[in-house]
Structure 1
Amino acid sequence: MKALQFAKTGDLSALQYIDVPQPVPAENEVLVQVKAAGLNPSDVKNVLGRFPYTTMPRIPGRDFAGVVIEGPQEMLGQEVWGTGKEPGLFRDGSHAEYLTLPAKGVAPKPKALSFVQAASLGVPLTTAWNALERSLVETGTRLLVIGANGAVGSAALALGKVLGAQVLGAVRRPEQICVLKADGFDAILLDKPEDLGAQVNAVFPGGADVIFDTTGFWLPAAVAALATFGRIAIIAAPVDGQVQMPTLALYRKGGSVVGINTLLYGTEACAGMLNQFGRFFDEGLMPLPTGIFESSLSEGLARYEEVNKGGADKVVFVFRSN
């Protein structure tokens, strides 16, 4: 089968498009014929060596949608989607024509989503859901999402609306404000960090109950925008992993910082989340994803390089021949 694979880390040029043997499912596993596979920034970081626990040689890729062709009889022919910490790190991932996973590590694909749409959502949805759930977002919560135009930010806006939160998006460009407002969300334009508190308080008097910073750059500024006993969820940090923040102001507000890492969740835990999201889509509670850039796997290195440079498009590898 065709696959992307790397045998060393540190440079994206280590990624090769090659023929490898088709995997064989073990007992209680399924063999999935991959129809589409998402490319996430974490996949790029994996090849660059940011995850030292990755074993090699390794096929990367965490998100996918496809069809079960081997496994338990009741699952044969089932359209599924999945994600989790194991694919691409501890076992071969989805950037290949086939992959194996535990039978309980896949979820039925929502009927409302195409294979391409489903493959674009695994990491963004589970990340956003984990952030909102662990930050105690519920009906009436005043939620600020920084970087609301990205894949994770967009997922957080949609899930926040499903949960009944008051949702405010923060973005960098005026045209992104227009997009958010057209989708029914209030939005503010990010400018100077020292202005964020006043901007948020103008919309949410007293501050936001939860601030989800998807960028890794706004943690210090977010403290001034936080309500009493508020929570700041973070999923990224500067390259050196260090940030200075006004700790005195944070504890005076009784605030807390919540670290969000989906690599703490295996495929079975993620399948449970995806089951819930599937209902949201099939019941019309979540908007269908748009802005997806479809690519062949043979162009994988170019796509990885684009994502590494901060490309805005959500990339999905599509397998049209299998």
Structure 2
Amino acid sequence: MQALQFSATGTLDSLQLRDLPTPVPGAGEVLIEVRAAGLNPSDVKNVLGRFPYTTTPRIPGRDFSGVVVSGSPELQGKAVWGGTGKGFGFYRDGCHAHYVVMPADAVAPKPQSLSFAQAATYGVPYITAWDALERSQVQAGTRLLIIGAGAVANAAQALGNARGAKVVMGVRRAEVAQDLEAQGIRAFQLPEAKQLPEQARDHFQQQLPEVIFDTTGFWLPAAINTVDSFGRIAVIAAPADGLVNVPALNLYRRGGSIIGVNSLLYSLEDCAQMLRQIGAAFEGGLPVPNGFIERPLSEAVAAYHQVNEGGSEKIILIP
């Protein structure tokens, strides 16, 4: 089979498309013909050596959809999606290949409302957003402020809206806020940090948000000063040095909580359970975005370089 593989970390220089033996499933595993695989920024960071537990040589890739071709008889021929969890693409081979082996209980049925390419876009961003909303207790009526406009922020908006939350997005650029408003999504351009509480009140009928999900890593201090009493702040990123000065006194006085969200803490089986619930939401009418481009696996190395150079388009690799 053809597969993307890197033999060393630190640069993208060792990343190559290679002819490798098709993997053989063991007991309790299935062999999946990959129909589409998402390319996430974490895949690029993996090759660049940002994850110390990665072992080489390694096939990267965390999100995929495909068809089971051997292994569990009850799954054979079924369309599935999976990935995202602990170790996948880091110390066990991932899905940027023609075939991938997975535990049988680590895949979920692909929603019929999604194409293979669409399904491959959702794993990392939707599981991350799902975990953030679950652990910050977002439900019907919750005032939810999402900071950022990337894939995870957009997933959180869709999932929060499906839960019946009162969702508002704060974004850096005015044109992005205008585009979101044109789509019927409540949004505003982020002000100076000290003005965030006032802006939030303006968009939540003079109330503060009960939950703030900072997907950027730069708004935690302002979020602490903005969240309501007993509020929750979910974070998925931080500055490069990992250090943030926070107004701890204000956090304590508000009875607030900070929740770190990391999909790599979950097993593949855990992530499959989340995908089943996310899949049910899609079958129930969750909007299906189409903001991605498809590229053949033969162009995967160039696609990695594109993401590394700051490209913002979501790329789906098609074996």
Give the TM-score of the pair, scaled to structure 1: 0.95
Provide the C-alpha distance between the structure 2 equivalents of 1:95 and 1:159, rounded to a whole number of angstroms: 27
TM superposition shift of 1:309:
3.1
TM superposition shift of 1:301:
2.2
Q: Secondary structure at the match of 2:228?
A: strand
**1:81-100 correspondence to structure 2 within 5 Å:** 81-83=81-83, 84-100=85-101
Provide the C-alpha distance between the structure 1 equivalents of 2:69 and 2:5, rounded to a whole number of angstroms: 23
- Structure 1 residue ranges without an equivalent (≥5): none
What residue number does 1:185 align with? 185
What residue number does 2:105 align with? 104
What residue number does 1:316 align with? 316
Give the TM-score of the pair, scaled to structure 2: 0.96
- Structure 2 residue ranges without an equivalent (≥5): none
Q: Residues 310 and 196 from structure 1, CA distance in 2 versus in 1: closer, same or farther, beyond 3 angstroms?
A: farther
**1:142-221 correspondence to structure 2 within 5 Å:** 142-147=143-148, 149-204=149-204, 205-221=206-222
TM superposition shift of 1:53:
0.9
* 2:284 pairs with 1:251: no
Q: Secondary structure at the match of 1:59?
A: coil
- RMSD of aligned residue pairs (Cα, Å): 1.2
Provide the C-alpha distance between the structure 1 equivalents of 2:138 and 2:259, rounded to a whole number of angstroms: 13
Amino acid at match of 1:38: G
What residue number does 1:17 align with? 17
Q: Secondary structure at the match of 2:317?
A: strand
Provide the C-alpha distance between the structure 2 equivalents of 1:193 and 1:45, rounded to a whole number of angstroms: 29
Q: Is the 8 A contact 2:174 2:188 kept in 1?
A: no
Q: Secondary structure at the match of 1:168?
A: strand
Q: Is the 8 A contact 1:5 1:58 kept in 2?
A: yes
Provide the C-alpha distance between the structure 2 equivalents of 1:310 and 1:223, rounded to a whole number of angstroms: 30
**Residues 186-226 of structure 1: CA deviation (Å, up to 9, x unaligned):** 10101322222221121222311100011111111111221
**1:1-322 correspondence to structure 2 within 5 Å:** 1-83=1-83, 84-147=85-148, 149-204=149-204, 205-284=206-285, 286-319=286-319
Amino acid at match of 1:144: L
- The answer to which of 94-103 and 16-25 deviates more is 16-25
% identical aligned pairs: 57
TM superposition shift of 1:250:
1.4
Provide the C-alpha distance between the structure 2 equivalents of 1:103 and 1:227, rounded to a whole number of angstroms: 43
TM superposition shift of 1:182:
2.9
Q: Is the 8 A contact 1:62 1:85 kept in 2?
A: no
Q: Secondary structure at the match of 1:225?
A: coil
